[in-house]
Structure formats: C-alpha cells, structure tokens
Amino acid sequence: MQESIQYNIVSYKNSATYKADWIACEQPLEIWLKFYKTPNQTEKLYLHSTMRTPGDDIHLVKGWLLSIDLVSLNDIFSIEHTGTDRLKENHSNRILITLKPGVSVELSKYKANPLSVSSCGVCGQQNIDKLLENLSPIDEQNRVSLAAKSICDLPNNLRLQQPVFFRTGGVHAAALLDHKGDLVGTSEDIGRHNALDKLIGKHLALLPGQYAVLLSGRVSFEMVQKSARAGISMIIAVGAPTSLAVDLCKELDIALIGFIKATQFNLYHGERQLI
C-alpha cells in the first residue's frame, strides 16, 4: 500500500524553484463488524472511521480493538479488507471484523462516530469511563527498567527507522523498546494514535511484557490508555505530556518520560524504573 505520493510543487526561497516533493498519504479507513444475531443470521454494523496512512491496516484494527475493549481478539474469526476500490488507490479502504459464531458483543460500550480525524484517538467513545474499564496498574513481572544514560539517544535511533518521515516529514512514529533500549519494531502513520495502534497490533505476541514504547510526538490521555491496555509499563516521548496523561500514568504506575533533548529529559513518574 502506498504510504507517500510524489507531487510537483513550487518551492520559494528568493525565487521560484520547480521540483518534486513526497507527501504523506492520507486515506479514510472504515471499520465494520459482522456478528451472529441468531445461530443462522448474521448482521453487519458500522463501527468507526479514521483517517490514516495506508499500510498495516489489520494491525491497526487489532491494536484499536484492544484499546477500546469492545471484543476479545480471541473471539474474532477474521479481519479482512472488503468493499470496492476508492479514492485513487487500488485497494479497499474498508475493514470487516467477523466474530466467531456464538460470540456476543456489548454494543452499548461503543457509539459510532461519523469520522475520526487523524489526531483523534478516542473519538466515537460513548464516555470516558468506558475507556478506563478493566485498567489496573502494570504487573511487576512486566515492568521494564532502562538505563537513564540511554534515553537521550532514543529520538535519533527512532528517526533512523522512519522511512516515511524521512521522505515526507509528515508522519508520526511509535516504537517498541526492550529492556536494553533497543528498538524491537516501529510503525508510522499521520495519526499518533494510529501509529501506536499499528505498533501494538503488530506485536501482540510479545505483549504484555517488559517493554517500553517510544513516541515521536506528545503524550495525551488516549496514548496512555492504549499503552496500559497492552500492558506497557513505560512511555517515552519526544514531546510533552498532557496533565491527564500524567495523572493516568501515576494512577496506573506507568513510567512517563517526555521532552527528550540532546542532553536532558523530563521524568514525570516512575523514577524507580530508571537505572
């Protein structure tokens, strides 16, 4: 799937220069649910739309489902692209989640939203309380510790694993870090929350475990909520956290680091996880 598109542009610096420029691809993704209403009758229901960078759509949906806690991933029969080609791309912008026979779903937990923009990670949720259900402090056996002296090197390490950002400068990234601070995997998307959903969905076999997540942007409430749902015990970000993100990290005992510079960073919670 195409993650960036080349356009002809005019660049101005004292005079006009005509050149080609790579632009981050933005496409809508519709998410639909198919379930058994009776043993012999199925029903399809629209769940959600989001603006995303095409690619890793299945992982995006798995990570998103984990974060909203609508259905268990073990209750899913299949997740696949469906529908017709649209919006200049030769692939479908629709995903169908099919539940196994006999699986019920509590649709009152989720209220469909017409469209979530690329910066919105909790759009469509009926209320914040639902997002916090079943969230508890991270198990000690899954808690990761990192060397404080390695933190300032992480943004540069992440940039080396951001091919779409290198071409376009227009996408966010999320990376999974092991206990040595090494990057296990990365994901990119125009949406911060989509990048994290893709990352989590791609590494479900490893989570929960002793891992940290590294974010290219700021840390907001939904980024903490998604990390907590995946059992991640440390969040490290190039940007700033919001007040609600700090409060939720303290409540769930998730280490939170932000504002990483060349020689310093801010620790908002979790000093015992720095060694």
Active-site positions read 120
Residue with tokens 């990192």: 146
* Cβ–Cβ < 8 Å for 129, 122: no
Among 155, 143, 110, CA closest to 228:
143
Q: Is 206 exposed, middle or buried (0-12, 13-18, 19+ CB in 10 A)?
A: middle
269-273 contacts: CB < 8 A, separation 24 or more? 270/234, 272/145, 273/143, 273/144, 273/145, 273/146, 273/233, 273/234
Q: How far apart are CA 31 and CA 22, in angstroms?
A: 28
Q: How far apart are CA 221 and CA 142, in angstroms?
A: 21
Backbone angles phi, psi at 63, to 5 degrees: -65, -40
* Cβ–Cβ < 8 Å for 176, 146: no
Q: Which residues of 119-142 are buried (b: 16+ CB within 10 A; e: fewer)?
A: ebbbbbbeeeebbeeeeeebeeee
Which residues face 183 on adjacent strands? Answer: 177
